[in-house]
């Protein structure tokens, strides 16, 4: 199914994009990048509700759960699970599969009504209902505007593109589950212990096992943490210290620094999301016109052509296709 037929656009694996999506759904959580699975890094972000894992999709990668690791399909899973039935919707499907299994989820009325409406449906029907929801598709596409230029119909050679896919690891009913919209059922990775790291330890094992199926040194992965927004609790604690006359002690100073970092992050996300929403075609056209008027357009075009020819020559020397760069 083409992008035009599905109506869903590709989504970046970016915490600002996911956080903005959560905001539009009325969910007071955020998403943060995870650069490490070590206990200290994860502990700093608690409470974490789910891990969103992006990976390069391969036909043989994780196609079936490994029983030796304790992973099994759970066709009787009583929670929320929706299958992906259209292209490019896997990011929002992953978020929905995560949110649908968080007890007492705070959310907006449209999302609450959607979860209520799909109660009791099978996974495929639930996926069809979700991806047919206009308001949800609009929220998804808001940060992934369609291209202003279409190359369809120009007879250009088709090139294969790597496919990437979002899935979720999270706790549900005492076990760690993997929710993959391309699978027929959720995958149960086994029970976890409440003490220590809790479900995170079991989820780490599952994520590391998935990564281990790729060649050593592969970097086609991204891991995000769905977590509580830390700003309200930081502000509350700082207010308590200030009211107790401890507004200048070390803990208060640390809280102020953390709040500043969080607010700076939000400002960066807002700026980047504004750029994503903006159509830069007008700016590009204006720059081309300015270069032409200054007599610099043809020299710039010739320089770009030379660089492309050099690039093609280098690729041919090492026996690589241009698309592999």
**pLDDT tens-digit series, residues 68-97:** 677 899 999 999 999 999 988 999 999 999
Q: What percent of the chain has pLDDT over 90?
A: 51
What are the structure tokens assigned to 284, written together?
């590009």
At 206, is the pLDDT very low, low, confident or very high (cuts 50, 70, 90)? very high
At 215, is the pLDDT very low, low, confident or very high (cuts 50, 70, 90)? confident
Higher pLDDT, 224 or 6: 224
Q: Which of 90, 107, 140, 189 is catalytic?
A: 90
At 324, is the pLDDT very low, low, confident or very high (cuts 50, 70, 90)? very low
State the Cα–Cα distance between residues 95 and 80, nearest whole angstrom.
12
Q: What pTM does this model have?
A: 0.80
Angle separating helix axes 123-131 and 134-141, nearest 10 degrees = 70
Q: Would residue 165 show up in a list of annotated catalytic residues for this protein?
A: yes
Instruction: Write phi, then psi, for 301 (nearest 5 degrees).
Output: -65, -45
**Does 157 have pLDDT greater than 70?**
no
C-alpha angle 92-109-104 in degrees, rounded to nearest 5: 80
pLDDT at 61 (0 to 100): 58
At 217, is the pLDDT very low, low, confident or very high (cuts 50, 70, 90)? confident
pLDDT at 299 (0 to 100): 87
pLDDT at 325 (0 to 100): 47
Instruction: Write phi, then psi, for 68 (nearest 5 degrees).
Output: -65, -25
Q: Which of 9, 49, 140, 165 is catalytic?
A: 165
Q: Would residue 72 show up in a list of annotated catalytic residues for this protein?
A: no
pLDDT at 147 (0 to 100): 54
Higher pLDDT, 266 or 273: 266
**Does 202 have pLDDT greater than 90?**
yes
Mean pLDDT of 170-175: 94
State the Cα–Cα distance between residues 181 and 89, nearest whole angstrom.
9
State the Cα–Cα distance between residues 157 and 95, nearest whole angstrom.
35
pLDDT at 5 (0 to 100): 53
Residue 285 CB contacts under 8 Å (≥ 6 apart), including other chains: none
pLDDT at 302 (0 to 100): 87
Coil vs helix vs strand at 179: strand
Cα first-last separation, the chain? 27
At 117, is the pLDDT very low, low, confident or very high (cuts 50, 70, 90)? very high
State the Cα–Cα distance between residues 25 and 114, nearest whole angstrom.
11
At 301, is the pLDDT very low, low, confident or very high (cuts 50, 70, 90)? confident
Higher pLDDT, 121 or 318: 121
pLDDT at 319 (0 to 100): 56
**Does 161 have pLDDT greater than 80?**
no
At 1, is the pLDDT very low, low, confident or very high (cuts 50, 70, 90)? very low
pLDDT at 290 (0 to 100): 85
The whole-chain average pLDDT of the chain stands at 85
Strand order across the beta sheet in which 221-228 lies: 29-34, 221-228, 48-56, 164-172, 175-179, 187-191, 72-73
Mean pLDDT of 290-303: 86
**Does 323 have pLDDT greater than 50?**
no
How many Cα neighbours within 13 Å face the side chain of 11?
Answer: 30
């Amino acid at each position: 199914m083409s992008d035009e037929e599905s109506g869903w656009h590709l989504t970046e694996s970016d915490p600002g994009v996911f956080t903005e999506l959560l905001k539009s759904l009325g969910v007071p959580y955020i998403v943060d990048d995870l650069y490490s699975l070590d206990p200290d890094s994860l502990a700093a972000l608690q409470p974490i509700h789910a891990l969103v894992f992006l990976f390069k999709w391969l036909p043989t990668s994780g196609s079936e759960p490994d029983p030796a690791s304790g992973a099994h399909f759970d066709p009787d899973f009583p929670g929320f699970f929706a299958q992906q039935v259209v292209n490019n919707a896997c990011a929002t499907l992953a978020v929905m599969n995560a949110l649908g299994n968080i007890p007492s989820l705070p959310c907006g009325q449209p999302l609450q009504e959607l979860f209520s409406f799909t109660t009791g449906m099978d996974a495929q029907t639930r996926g069809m209902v979700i991806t047919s929801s206009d308001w949800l598709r609009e929220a998804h596409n808001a940060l992934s505007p369609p291209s202003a230029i279409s190359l369809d119909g120009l007879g250009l050679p088709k090139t294969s593109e790597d496919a990437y896919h979002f899935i979720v690891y999270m706790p549900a009913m005492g076990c760690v589950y993997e929710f993959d919209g391309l699978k027929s059922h959720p995958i149960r990775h086994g029970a976890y212990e409440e003490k220590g790291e809790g479900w995170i330890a079991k989820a780490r094992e599952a994520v590391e096992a998935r990564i281990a199926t790729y060649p050593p040194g592969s970097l086609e992965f991204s891991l995000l943490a769905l977590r509580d927004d830390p700003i309200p609790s930081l502000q509350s604690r700082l207010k308590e210290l200030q009211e107790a006359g401890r507004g200048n002690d070390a803990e208060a100073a640390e809280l102020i620094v953390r709040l500043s970092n969080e607010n700076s992050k939000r400002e960066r996300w807002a700026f980047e999301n504004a750029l994503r929403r903006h159509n830069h075609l007008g700016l590009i056209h204006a720059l081309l016109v300015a270069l032409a008027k200054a007599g610099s357009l043809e020299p710039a075009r010739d320089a770009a052509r030379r660089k492309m020819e050099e690039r093609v020559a280098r690729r041919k020397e090492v026996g690589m296709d241009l698309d592999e760069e």
